[in-house]
Amino acid sequence: MADVVGNFSSDISPAGFSTPDLPNQGYKVWLALVIMIIISGISVAARISTRISTRQMGADDYTIIAALSRPPYGLCLYELDMALNTWWFLGSIFYPITIALFKTSVILLNKRIFVQRGFQIACWITLMINSFWALGNTLGWVFQCYPIPIMWGAIETSKGTCFDLQGIWISIAAWDVASDVWIMGMAVPMVWKLHLRFREKVMLTGVFLLGAVVVIFSIMSCSAVVSSLQVEKAQSNEYSFGLANLFQVLESNMGIIGACLPIMRQPLREYFPRSFGRSKFSSGPSPYYSDHFTDQYVMQRVSSRQKGHNVSVSGPELFRSTPRKSDELGIINETVEAGDKDSGGDLDGRSSTSQSSLEVDVGYSVYQGAYDADAGFNVFKGIRYAQDTAGKNRWQAPRAPETNRSSVIPATSYALECPQAPDASSSYTTVDNTGASEDCLFLNVQSPANVPQGNSTDEPGLPVLVWIHGGGYGEGSGAYDLSDIITTNGNRFVGVSIQYRLGAFGFLSSDEVYRKGVANAGILDQQMALQWVQQYIHLFGGDNRKVTIFGESAGAGSVMLHDIAYGGTLGTSLFRNSISASPYLAYQYGYKDWQPSQSYYAFASAAGCDARNAYLHNGSTPIFDCLTSKDTATLMEANVNVSQSGTWGTWSFLPVTDGRLITERPSKQLLEGRVNGLNHLAGHNALEGASWVPPNIDTIDDFVDYLRVIFPNFSNNDIAKVLLYYPMSNASVSPNAADYATEGSYGPTTINESTAATGQQQRAIAIYGETTFICPSYWLAEAYSDNGYGGQGWKYQFSIPNAYHGADGPAYFSNPADTDYYSSDFIVAFMTMLGNFIVNDDPDVSSLINNGNSTGNSTYNPASQWPPYSIYNPVLMDFNTTCPYTKEIGGLPYCTGPGELNTIRLANAYTWEGGRGTRCDFWRSLGELVPE
């Protein structure tokens, strides 16, 4: 059965780790492994030989122990061979060290997989027990007899002067067994609750159960030693002691193997690729990890158009593609060419980079990038990260590329975008999908040219920014130029932009889709791309331990879903930090609820599949099978038609709660603080809803009718509550009333005043903006506040008029020298804030930059010390400027021109705009009626 779990490529388990393989370290690993095993074997053999030889000389057990404890390690006493005595001593020390190394390795593995706080505490306790065991065991071997002065001067030492060796061995064995049982008892039951295939569960269980083998050897070894000390007959004594040494060498070497499991697979894969080559993501990545103890473990546009009262959507979509000179609107008209369509294969293999030719070998293919001399970047466009999603791969989890190493693939042009579909508006929108393809799962990398690439050194790479485009989950592409934000931040990080399936192709959902394919295929695509980053970004000079995912609108909504994926059990396996700019949270229904099911049947009918009769009427083909058999053009047309058939400003195909990847409504899970990653930066714009509300809501009746449409589950009592939380006179407002931006902390509020509208129209705008974009950003900041992993959340508002949804795009996708939208000082401040968060895990910016570089004013600005967001101190950073001049671009006013000064300040997010925090709490309480 094909489902999320069935396809390992996208069922990223809580066991996912982030450190890449180290292809150039294989010989070191082998050398260390071989030396450890040889030393262990020789040391135990020497101990056995010494034991036999001294017994032949007539020495008893206690004299031997005393001799071996005498500095320097009993040399020359009883004419014992110096080398053998040294090996005996070294073997005695080496034994607890190897076992402790093994246990530490498995405990750290345990700690990385299960990130719940209770489990973390248990792991720390177990580590302490293991450390005490190793220390006690080592000291026990060195100082087994007491008092030491007597022992040093004795030729024959009586039993009464030594420790109770039997008691020592029994206590050490008890600690040994207890720590192993604790390790296994914690881990093994939890393994079977992970989102893994059966094979991976068995494999992971086996790693932990290695401890059981060590326990058995430890018990047998200790029993044999105790027996050797109790039995008087020399022959039995020698047999028991020799047997003890045999068990100890087995136990010690099993410990070595267990400790080396994290690093063994890399050299095996290098020297025996056919037998140990990494399986495709569809079968699950390597079950072993690197010697960092953090490697991979079973991983895995909004359109610019006018909408009512002369309102259009702006944003990052205006800054896609690479030309550094844009037209008047910043809209790039570069022709997007198709990338290679035949790349593929294991997401692994030998990896190499030639900076002279900019060839990067990712195992399944070799790509050749280009050097952008203007930006100083190595640019790779159209790198495939998954197979074509047409035909049998429709509505399935993404599959790893097939191998194509027949020739070097040029990575110099963007891939075709995924099929597009618009949202509903007042009229039907035609879409030209001639430049789209179902084969669209590609990504792009921009890396500063001076960064070492190809993992040629042991130096860590740069932090990584992964951009996830927006577009309501129905529009957009990965053709973004990230060079400006990277350059403004001193080339301190690497940029990646990704594409994912959209509309019906990525978010079709129903019970049948769930059973025969996967829901949320588009989100799974994104996770596959994040897996790719974990595996390969080191080849482009990036550090996969410092990945920040960043999105706007639906891209930010996607970030939010990754933050809560798998119930928040992924830790930092896919990313360390996340940034959400206006996170789009449309209604998130269950995968087979009435809304996604209605869209499914509407899509089937539009595609020509029988959705009118009972299932398999007169032997008809099941709907899902019919859809997978249709040609792409038919499905694209159906996608366009159904996508814009809903309510104003919405798309028909959206993420759902599937119980696997997304286990709960975001508002509920975020309240519980169950999140992935470490830190989060959440932002919204001051006037988010203006583009998404139908015009001409003039009267209270118009307003109530609008509420009934967008909240279909509301009763009259529920609507009355909304009117209470958004108070306003029911009188109609003159269309000639002044429109102006509110101050936020005092005066009129966004409930009834803005630059877009006043009265009931603005009331509707405020509700849509807060429920869909603003409150989710509040919930995200709160969820990361003082989280269990030492992370924090920060909150900001982008307030420069017009401050519509997407108006912040020019602040992070335009050259600071281009002041068409905002001043250079503001762009630098905003970009630096984002860059500091990506690089330093903290968005603080200096007073000089906050005040404006061109002013030369370095006077202390409180905004330079931005406190994290918390319930007890709900701080919001308000990014704004003075507005000396208004310039209309695309039908919208932008504050720009000479004399524009930064006014960046801190404010109380909870009381902001007349108590927005209280309103967001209200919307969260309605989760059963408003499934967000």
Cα dihedral 581, 587, 591, 597 in deg (nearest 10): -130
Q: How far apart are CA 338 and CA 775, in angstroms?
A: 39
Catalytic residue among 221, 290, 553, 799: 553
Question: What DSSP designation does 406 have?
Answer: S
Nearest one of 94, 107, 348, 97 to 207, comparing CA atoms? 107
> Vertex 517, ends 514 and 518: CA angle to 5°?
65
Token pair listed for 338:
């198709």
At 666 the pLDDT is 93
At 789 the pLDDT is 75
Residue type, 355: Q
Q: How far apart are CA 743 and CA 911, in angstroms?
A: 12
Token pair listed for 486:
């990277």
DSSP-derived 3-state class of residue 515: helix
DSSP string over 486-538: HHHTTS-SEEEEE----HHHHH---HHHHHHS-S-HHHHHHHHHHHHHHHHGG
At 287 the pLDDT is 26
Residues 166 and 113 sit within 8 Å (Cβ to Cβ): no
747 Cβ neighbours under 8 A, 6+ residues apart = none
At 254 the pLDDT is 56
CA–chain centroid gap for 714, Å, is: 36
Task: Confirm whether pTM is higher than 0.75.
Answer: no
DSSP-derived 3-state class of residue 695: coil
Full strand arrangement of the beta sheet holding 793-798: 370-372, 377-384, 442-448, 494-498, 462-468, 542-552, 577-581, 679-685, 793-798, 875-879, 905-908
Token pair listed for 47:
């101990």
Whether 553 is catalytic is: yes
Stated as kind and residue range, the H or E segment containing 184 is helix 165-191
Token pair listed for 665:
């409504």
CB atoms within 10 A of CB 75: 16
At 208 the pLDDT is 63
Mean pLDDT, consecutive 10-residue segments, the chain of 932 residues? 31 31 37 54 54 49 42 36 46 64 69 64 76 69 43 38 52 66 67 61 68 60 52 46 53 52 44 38 28 25 33 35 31 31 35 57 93 90 96 94 93 95 86 93 94 59 96 95 94 96 96 95 96 94 95 96 94 95 94 92 92 72 92 95 88 94 93 94 95 91 94 93 87 64 87 89 95 96 86 95 93 88 94 96 94 92 91 93 88 86 94 94 90 80
Q: How far apart are CA 92 and CA 139, in angstroms?
A: 10
At 518 the pLDDT is 95
CB atoms within 10 A of CB 822: 25
DSSP string over 621-638: PPHHHHHHHS-HHHHHHH
Residue type, 273: P
Residues 527 and 514 sit within 8 Å (Cβ to Cβ): no
